[in-house]
Structure 1
Amino acid sequence: MPGGRLTSEDRRQIAAGLADGLGYAEIGRRLGRPASTVMREVTRNGGPDGYGATRAHEATRHRARRHKQAEPAAAPVPDGGGGRDPHTVQDLTESWAAVLVRQGVPRVAAGVMACLYVTDSGALTAADLVQRLRVSPASISNAVTFLEQQGLLRRERTPGVRRERYVIDDGIWVRTLLVTMQTNDALAAEAKRAAGILGAATPAGARFESSAGLLLMVNDSLRQGMEQWRRSLAESSDGG
């Protein structure tokens, strides 16, 4: 039933929808379930290209048996404010992490980012993350190292406190976009060089010339968008 656990028939409909090229929102609409539920189901069971209804159903049953044998999971950890329902926040965290996984972020690293992003403070310790994600401290350490290398979080140590905290802020997307723009500029420059070598009038040269134009156009749009975002923040700050 909608809102309960997925049935084998639900999973057959999900598999059929994926085969027909439907998006998560449309599959969810047909099942009477949120798109996030469908996305998590598919992400946990092979992704869009590897999802199989029977295999997903058996894998879910196996995980359920394993969880029953393990120690009971900790209750969702509240963020300490806002009157939020911890279970709703946990569902949001899982959905956000699933989106990041789809973008290529490793699973635990995606979970770390999601946990940090949904907290008002934007900061958690390793122990906090272990409790929320139910993974080992080593997994958290590896995920934090990966995210730090990507410029997606930073370490922070409070004077007099032994534990360091991992911090995420609004600037992560600016830094990510800047890296993207630098990559696009490098690709565009190389594409223009290739077009000059191959000859812009040739099919191969024209292909490179067109690629360079697209990359530079994307970068112009990103610069304009970032500038507009900065102006909007400044205006909001002045108005406050």
Structure 2
Amino acid sequence: MVTDQTDGTDQNGQTDPQERDRQAVSDFVERFAAQLVEAGMTRMPARVFAAILSSDAGVMTSAELGEQLKVSPAAVSGAIRYLSQVNMVSREREPGSRRDRYRVHSNQWYEALANRDNVLKRWEGTFRDGVARLGANTPAGHRLAETLEFFEFMESELAGMMRRWREHRERVFGAS
């Protein structure tokens, strides 16, 4: 990459990752991680996810994550275990090495929401069973029935929304 010495960009206007302001990246990672924590994610997985998401390659090793976030390998390992379980990152081998790399895919948010569909279906089954056991005419049964209806509504809306997103993404970013 040929870099313009005045502003850190190459002839195509792309920022050289080596020239990027590390503090600006760190500030973004911590800000987004804090927002993920507010939404219910635990702190270390939130920081690890934000770091991988904000990396140019969308992939980082455990050592790179530890260095950037200034945390121990054990902290990274625990965060990766959680993020893998909830399908927010995938693990792959670094070519020519025994080291693992962790990847966030470009369609990450689509995948995360699509995977929530399975959770919604399980919850629906549980609420349906709860209504049957508690009785639809009881206050608790009525509350569970309303909750069930909400999740069934969300599931049906989510399917259409995801289809529209795929169409929109293809128009804006092309087929991938």
TM-score by length of 1: 0.59
Residue type at the aligned position of 1:102: E
Within 5 Å, give how 1:1-240 maps onto structure 2: 80-81=16-17, 84-238=20-174
Q: Distance in 2 between matches of 1:138 and 1:198?
A: 45
- State the aligned residue count: 162
| C-alpha distance in 1 between matches for 2:110 and 2:149 | 23
Residue ranges of structure 2 left out of the alignment (5+ in a row): 1-14
Letter aligned with residue 100 of structure 1: L
Select the structure that is richer in helix.
Answer: 1
Instruction: Measure the CA separation in 2 of the matches of 1:132 and 1:158.
Output: 19
RCO higher in 1 or 2 (8 Å CA, sep ≥ 6)? Answer: 2
CA-CA distance at 1:198 after TM superposition: 4.1
Change (3 A) 1:220 1:137: same
Task: Say if 1:106 and 1:199 are closer, same or farther in 2 by CA, change over 3 A.
Answer: closer
Specify whether residues 194 and 166 from structure 1 end up closer, same or farther in structure 2 by C-alpha distance, changes over 3 A only. closer
Shift of 1:215: 0.8
Identify if the C-alpha distance between structure 1 residues 206 and 133 changes in structure 2 by more than 3 Å, giving closer, same or farther.
same
CA distance in structure 1 between the partners assigned to 2:18 and 2:159 by the alignment? 35
| Unmatched segments (≥5 aa) in structure 1 | 1-78
RMSD over aligned Cα, in angstroms? 2.5
- Over 3 Å counting, the alpha-carbon distance change for 1:199 and 1:105 in structure 2 is closer
Distance 1:104 1:237, change over 3 A: closer
The structure having more radius of gyration, on CA atoms, is: 1
Query: Runs in 1 of length 4+ with deviation above 6 angstroms?
Result: none
**What secondary structure does 1:156 align onto?**
strand
Superposed displacement of residue 105, structure 1: 2.2
2-structure distance, mates of 1:114, 1:224: 28
Give percent identity, aligned residues only. Answer: 32
Structure 1 position 226, deviation (Å): 1.2
TM-score (structure 2 length as normaliser):
0.78
SS at match of 1:211: helix
